[in-house]
Amino acid sequence: MTTRPMVAIVGRPNVGKSALFNRIIRSRVSIVESQPGVTRDRIYADTKWQGMDFVIIDTGGITTGKHDPLNEKVRDQAEIAVEQAAVVVLVLDAKTGLMSEDEDVANIIRHSKKPCVLCVNKVDDPRHMDYSFWSLGLGEPLPVTAAHGTGVAELLDAIVEKLKEIGYKENEQDGEAADGAPIKVAFVGKPNVGKSSIVNKYIGYERSIVSELPGTTRDAIDMDIDIDGRPFVLIDTAGIRRKPRIDTSVEFYSVVRSMSAIERSDVAVIVLDGTETVSEQDVRIAGFAHEAGKAVVIAVNKWDAMDREEGYHEEKIKEIKEKLSYMDYVKIIFVSAKQGRHLDKLLKAIVDAFEANRRRIATAELNKLLEEAVLRFPPPGEKGRQPKLLYISQVRVQPPTFVLFTNSPDLVHFSYVRYLENLIRNAYDFSGTPMTIHLRKRS
């Protein structure tokens, strides 16, 4: 994990925390909506200001007085962010003025004894700002309009000044950088299949809120972690619903974030509910990762709740392979996030798939394999003509892509291409990754 300082943005719901977070990192990572309670989990992003590198944390709105289990978990997430942070930014709303819930959040910050920067958002004219916010006793209220970026530079100046006061220096980096770039792993699937539970087990605490209520996770949340000395970025995503069931803009952007997470991942873990049959939506989600050329692992969760009758395990594997027949390269791992079972096997499958997706084979080895394949089983001809397979070369990775040169591409049947693909897979272990062989004409 990085040793860069963390800065937590906190406040009651709908004061503009996510808008401020997006403005600081210059990207629309957090979903912004006028309705309160859209952000629920902690969302982390790297940023830099005036030579100081730090991690900014967006949090859900802190509410009090409502005995709602989900609201309590959102509050817990925000309090963890305050605990982790070196500096806390308390966001207030100039439109509504100081409210009792603002006092409650301020008490949490006072109790933490963390340095605080007071940010008053939605200020149309700084000359007319309500200075009753001084009464919180947390320092000078800084006027900001996150939607337009007004006052954000001054706010960042204040944050950097606080970090320097407590000993952080410009460009302070982790002295023991991990070898190589981290493996980005996106956990995707339908709502309520256990994606967040699996991620939380890996990191050792509840970073993502887990609830039996489907759709609890709304943003795609990145988590940096080292496992056995190897760096990973675990991306927890919102459940991807079928289009007819997406009835709000929040849900729409949640699905967009999930699809984007697949695009920027190295490995997509398709999480299935082992107690349910494989649905068309499961197949569709797996197809997204396949078409994107990502390494893929299937995690069948809720193994502890599955039917234990003899042969059920084999039947489930058969069902998955039938529904995902176009992805016969994928590894299927049965896990129980609740009990932590087989998560080590899942991690190994993730690493293996990652390495397979980047595997490159020497041209000489490939052509030796091609020569043996043709001797064993020559390509069938058509109307007295037989194609000649001249040369094969790997032209790229992620996913592994090969070009096969032949005098007559139109005569090479797709089944023969599949035959060659299987030979290459078996010879060099490309399990866990899609593979493409293109035909090119050469005289």
* Confidence bin at 84 (pLDDT 50/70/90): confident
Q: In what order do the strands lie in the sheet with 401-406?
A: 389-396, 401-406, 436-441
- Averaged over 144-161, what is the pLDDT? 88
Instruction: Tell whether the model's pLDDT for residue 267 goes beyond 70.
Output: yes
Better-predicted residue by pLDDT, 307 or 138: 138
Lowest mean pLDDT across 39-53, 127-141, 301-315? 39-53
- pLDDT tens-digit series, residues 408-442: 888 999 899 999 999 999 999 999 999 989 998 88
How much is the mean pLDDT over the chain? Answer: 81
294-308 burial string, b = 16+ CB within 10 Å, else e?
bbbbbbbbbbeebee
CATH 3.30.300.20 residue ranges of the chain are 363-441
Cα 131 from Cα 98, distance rounded (Å): 10
Lowest mean pLDDT across 62-71, 182-191, 269-278, 409-418? 62-71
Instruction: Tell whether the model's pLDDT for residue 172 goes beyond 60.
Output: no
Q: Which helix (H) or strand (E) holds 417?
A: helix 414-428
With a pLDDT cut of 90, the percent of the chain lying above it is 33
Cα 356 from Cα 329, distance rounded (Å): 11
Cα 200 from Cα 182, distance rounded (Å): 18
Q: Are residues 189 and 238 in contact, defined by beta-carbon separation less than 8 angstroms?
A: no
CATH of the domain spanning 183-357: 3.40.50.300
CATH of the domain spanning 6-165: 3.40.50.300
- Averaged over 187-194, what is the pLDDT? 86
pLDDT reported for residue 55: 84
Better-predicted residue by pLDDT, 159 or 132: 159
Better-predicted residue by pLDDT, 422 or 133: 422
pLDDT reported for residue 6: 87
CATH of the domain spanning 363-441: 3.30.300.20
pLDDT reported for residue 405: 92
Instruction: Tell whether the model's pLDDT for residue 374 goes beyond 90.
Output: yes
Tell me whether strands 267-273 and 43-49 are parallel, antiparallel or unpaired.
Answer: unpaired
pLDDT reported for residue 366: 95
Highest mean pLDDT among 224-228, 255-259, 339-343: 339-343
pLDDT reported for residue 179: 43
DSSP state at residue 318: H
Instruction: Tell whether the model's pLDDT for residue 247 goes beyond 60.
Output: no
- Averaged over 208-229, what is the pLDDT? 59
Lowest mean pLDDT across 44-53, 335-344, 368-377? 44-53
pLDDT reported for residue 356: 95
- pLDDT tens-digit series, residues 24-40: 877 554 433 344 443 44
Q: Give the pTM.
A: 0.59
Which runs of E-coded beta strand occur in 310-381? 331-334
pLDDT reported for residue 258: 62
Output 344-351 pairs: Cβ under 8 A, ≥24 positions apart.
346/198, 346/269, 346/297, 346/299, 347/202, 347/227, 349/297, 349/432, 350/183, 350/185, 350/267, 350/269, 350/295, 350/297, 351/183, 351/230
Output 238-242 pairs: Cβ under 8 A, ≥24 positions apart.
238/191, 239/189, 239/190, 239/191, 239/192, 239/193, 239/195, 239/214, 239/215, 240/188, 240/189, 240/190, 240/191, 240/281, 240/285, 241/190, 241/191, 241/215, 241/281, 242/281
CATH 3.40.50.300 residue ranges of the chain are 6-165, 183-357
Highest mean pLDDT among 29-43, 118-132, 267-281, 382-396: 267-281
Instruction: Tell whether the model's pLDDT for residue 78 goes beyond 60.
Output: yes
